[in-house]
Amino acid sequence: MMNELLEEFMDQEGIHNFEGDSGLKNLERIIEALGYKPHGFRFGSLIEVFLSDNSAACDALIDFIRDSNVRDWRDSLESNLEEQGITDEIL
């Protein structure tokens, strides 16, 4: 179920890659949809530079989210999609 919710969210938001700065922003959008408060990265932090330069690391984080069965994340993602009227066919 988490995989389907995440896929639907990514499709709805037009998130298709995690390369460079825009990929890092896409990853932040997903994390925010999971229910985390937006604090952003410190500009130029090592983690920001690493993730921005290594899209496969972002992909690994997305796979981790897909494979996790964290109820709070599912609830937040469902709520986000319900606001857009999208989840009926998934749930």
Task: Please state, in angstroms and rounded to a whole number, the distance separating the CA atoms of residues 6 and 16.
Answer: 12
Full pLDDT tens readout for the chain, 91 residues: 788 999 999 999 999 999 988 998 899 889 888 887 756 556 667 778 788 888 999 999 999 999 998 999 999 999 988 887 765 555 5
* Four-CA torsion 14, 17, 23, 25, nearest 10 degrees: 20
| pLDDT given for residue 1 in this prediction | 79
Say if residues 27 and 33 touch (Cβ distance below 8 Å): no
| pLDDT given for residue 41 in this prediction | 59
